């Protein structure tokens, strides 16, 4: 089945396209809201600016796909593979991304507000700001996620759940060329998180919960811990 046929069938009311193979296809600026692409092969596809809100892409393979500006808000991508995918500027508000593989993915300027990324792999993922917006992970569930070596500089992570997350050697430090923007973890939960050897310079941890967190070797220059619960359980003052 080719792209033109999918669009035609979708317009006729069909929504079930499970296990479809669209590897290396181009499907941009289309409206596929609520479509079911579960288990689909979407490797190296170009899906920029397409509306996949409320879609189901459970266990779909989107490795190396170009997904800039895509709308995946409230979509279900449980256990999907997005290794080295380019999601720059994508809308992932309230998206279900549990156990997703986002290793080396580009998430610059992505809106992940309220997204669920528990137990996901974000090793070496790039979550810096894009040219016009900061990466928003406010209220996102990243519990148990692996963000080792990830670039989270200037990301918005206020009230995010990072309990048991791995942030070993992650970079959350200040970005000077962006007007001294700092990573904001105000009110976030980082209980038992691994922050060993991470760059936490200038990071805002105001009222965050770091109880049991591992800060071994972390760079803490000018980090703001006002009102935070520190690894030993004592409130910073």
C-alpha distances (whole Å) from 21 to each of 40, 41, 49, 191 are: 6, 5, 20, 41
Q: What is the pLDDT of residues 118-131, one digit of tens each?
A: 999 999 999 999 87
Q: Which residue has the tokens 């070496």?
A: 124
**Does the structure show a pLDDT above 70 at 176?**
no
> How many Cβ atoms sit within 10 Å of the Cβ of residue 148?
21
Indicate the SS3 state at residue 88. Answer: coil
| Residues in contact with 136: Cβ distance below 8 Å, sequence separation at least 6, in sequence order | 110, 111, 112, 113, 155, 156
pLDDT of residue 20: 97
pLDDT of residue 1: 85
pLDDT bucket at 178, cuts 50 / 70 / 90:
low
For range 82-111, the mean pLDDT: 98
- HSE at residue 14, side-chain half, CA atoms within 13 A, is 11
pTM for the structure as a whole: 0.94
**Does the structure show a pLDDT above 90 at 237?**
no
**Does the structure show a pLDDT above 80 at 64?**
yes
Tell me how far the alpha carbon of residue 68 is from its chain's centroid: 13
**Does the structure show a pLDDT above 80 at 199?**
yes
Structure tokens at 217: 């070797």
For range 80-104, the mean pLDDT: 98
pLDDT bucket at 115, cuts 50 / 70 / 90:
very high
**Does the structure show a pLDDT above 90 at 144?**
yes
For range 165-177, the mean pLDDT: 89
What sign for the dihedral angle of Cα 63, 66, 68, 71?
negative
For range 109-115, the mean pLDDT: 97
Number of H helices, E strands in the chain: 1, 0
pLDDT of residue 159: 97
**Does the structure show a pLDDT above 90 at 177?**
no
What sign for the dihedral angle of Cα 117, 119, 121, 125?
positive
Structure tokens at 223: 């980090």
More confident residue, 34 or 134: 34
pLDDT of residue 27: 94
């Amino acid at each position: 089945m080719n792209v033109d046929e999918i669009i035609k069938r979708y317009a006729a009311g069909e929504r079930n396209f499970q296990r479809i193979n669209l590897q290396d296809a181009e499907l941009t600026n289309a409206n596929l809201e609520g479509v079911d692409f579960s288990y689909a092969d979407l490797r190296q596809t170009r899906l920029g600016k397409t509306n996949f809100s409320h879609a189901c892409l459970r266990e779909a393979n989107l490795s190396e796909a170009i997904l800039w500006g895509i709308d995946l808000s409230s979509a279900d991508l449980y256990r999907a593979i997005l290794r080295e995918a380019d999601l720059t500027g994508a809308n992932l508000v309230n998206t279900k991304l549990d156990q997703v593989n986002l290793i080396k993915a580009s998430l610059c300027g992505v809106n992940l507000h309220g997204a669920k990324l528990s137990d996901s792999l974000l090793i070496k993922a790039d979550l810096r700001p894009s040219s016009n917006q900061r990466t928003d992970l406010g209220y996102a569930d990243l519990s148990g996620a692996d963000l080792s070596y990830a670039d989270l500089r200037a990301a918005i992570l206020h009230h995010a759940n990072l309990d048991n997350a791995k942030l070993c050697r992650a970079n959350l430090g200040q970005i000077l060329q962006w007007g001294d923007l700092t990573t904001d973890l105000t009110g976030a939960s980082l209980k038992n998180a691994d922050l060993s050897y991470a760059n936490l310079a200038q990071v805002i941890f105001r009222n965050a919960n770091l109880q049991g967190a591992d800060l071994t070797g972390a760079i803490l220059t000018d980090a703001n811990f006002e009102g935070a619960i520190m690894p030993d359980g004592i409130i910073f003052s």
